[in-house]
């Protein structure tokens, strides 16, 4: 019997996973049937595998920041503020080139006073990455360290330390808010260096926010970790001035 061959589903998607190829190439399985019934991986397969590996990390934009946009306060107000406009422009360019920046393992380091818009700008970057179909892990530093501590509890039913570490270091973008906010200890220094160093070695991007300047951050989390952050993110982007939270309230 002649005629076009019907698409053959070679593997089913996981529970709740989309079964439509985002590229419109395969049947949603991640495989394409070629000549002589030989299957080859679809270009969408790598992205699907990344998303599966990323399960178990916090990847959702917090409710407060789901509406972040270049066109809405507080971010829109930065464009007209001479002291913050350069940082606004740097973040705008990063978000516009998100896939290229993540592929290159580049990041951002936002530093400055409380309420100056650091977290909003960082969430804008993470939102852009998610919209581009990239994998993201979003944590405040205290929450991240608490999550790591839970991996030591064998009865918690959660990932082991090594499983969680692998997920955390393999996502396309790691977003850490309030870096330096945790009380300094040898354990904290060890955890932070291990995470940042692994992402540096594997050329994976990080976006961080901190209220501390570079010297104070070195004291708090160690010069080795700060050195790696400089390699990944470049120089800190400084944000100073009045608290935007009060202005937009």
* CA-based nearest residue to 237, from 89, 37, 41: 89
Quick one: average pLDDT of 145-160?
Answer: 81
165, 194 contact by CB (below 8 A):
yes
Predicted local distance difference test score (pLDDT) of residue 152: 86
8 DSSP assignment: -
Predicted local distance difference test score (pLDDT) of residue 60: 87
* 204-230 confidence digits (pLDDT tens): 999 999 999 999 999 999 999 999 999
Buried b / exposed e over 158-172, threshold 16 CB at 10 Å, is ebeeeebbebbbbbb
Identify the band that residue 248 occupies on the pLDDT scale cut at 50, 70 and 90. very low
Give CA–CA dist 19/12, Å, rounded: 8
34, 57 contact by CB (below 8 A):
no
pTM of the entire structure? 0.77
2-6, 68-72, 150-154, 225-229, range with the lowest pLDDT: 2-6
Predicted local distance difference test score (pLDDT) of residue 153: 78
Torsion-angle region of residue 155: left (phi > 0), alpha (psi -120 to 50) or beta?
alpha
Share of the chain above pLDDT 70, in %: 73
Q: Above 70 in pLDDT, residue 4?
A: no
Q: Kindly list the distances between the CA atom of residue 31 and the CA atoms of 13, 22, 48, 108, 110, in Å, as whole numbers in the listed order.
A: 11, 13, 11, 36, 41
Is the CATH code 3.40.50.2300 the one for domain 55-248?
A: no
Q: Above 60 in pLDDT, residue 53?
A: no
Question: C-alpha dihedral over 139, 127, 90, 202, to 10 degrees?
Answer: 60
* CA-based nearest residue to 110, from 120, 97, 95: 120
Predicted local distance difference test score (pLDDT) of residue 52: 55
Query: Scanning the structure block, which residue is given the tokens 């070679």?
Result: 10
Predicted local distance difference test score (pLDDT) of residue 1: 42
Cβ atoms within 10 A of the Cβ of 119, count? 20
* 89-125 confidence digits (pLDDT tens): 999 999 999 999 999 999 999 999 888 999 999 999 9
Q: Above 90 in pLDDT, residue 158?
A: no
User: Across all residues in the chain, what is the average pLDDT?
Assistant: 84
- Domains of the chain: which residue ranges? 1-45, 55-248
Give CA–CA dist 178/97, Å, rounded: 25
Predicted local distance difference test score (pLDDT) of residue 8: 37
Q: Residue 31: beta bridge partners?
A: 41
């Amino acid at each position: 019997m002649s005629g076009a061959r019907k698409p053959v589903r070679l593997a089913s998607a996981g529970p709740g996973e989309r079964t439509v190829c985002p590229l419109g190439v395969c049947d949603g399985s991640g495989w394409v049937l070629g000549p002589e019934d030989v299957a080859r991986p679809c270009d969408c397969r790598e992205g699907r595998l990344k998303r599966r590996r990323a399960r178990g990390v916090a990847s959702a934009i917090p409710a407060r920041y789901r509406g972040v946009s270049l066109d809405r306060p507080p971010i829109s107000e930065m464009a007209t503020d001479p002291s913050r406009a350069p940082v606004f422009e740097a973040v705008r360019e990063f978000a516009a080139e998100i896939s290229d920046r993540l592929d290159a393992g580049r990041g951002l380091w936002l530093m400055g006073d409380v309420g100056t818009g650091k977290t909003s700008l960082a969430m804008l970057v993470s939102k852009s990455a998610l919209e581009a179909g990239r994998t993201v892990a979003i944590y405040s530093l205290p929450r991240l360290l608490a999550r790591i501590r839970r991996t030591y509890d064998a009865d918690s039913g959660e990932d082991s330390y090594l499983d969680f570490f692998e997920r955390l270091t393999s996502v396309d973008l790691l977003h850490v808010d309030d870096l330096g906010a945790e009380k300094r200890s040898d354990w904290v220094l060890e955890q932070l260096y291990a995470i940042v160093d692994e992402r540096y070695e594997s050329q994976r991007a990080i976006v961080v926010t901190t209220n501390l300047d570079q010297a104070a951050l070195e004291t708090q989390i160690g010069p080795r970790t700060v050195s790696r952050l400089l390699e990944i993110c470049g120089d800190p982007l400084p944000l100073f001035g009045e608290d935007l939270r009060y202005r937009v309230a």
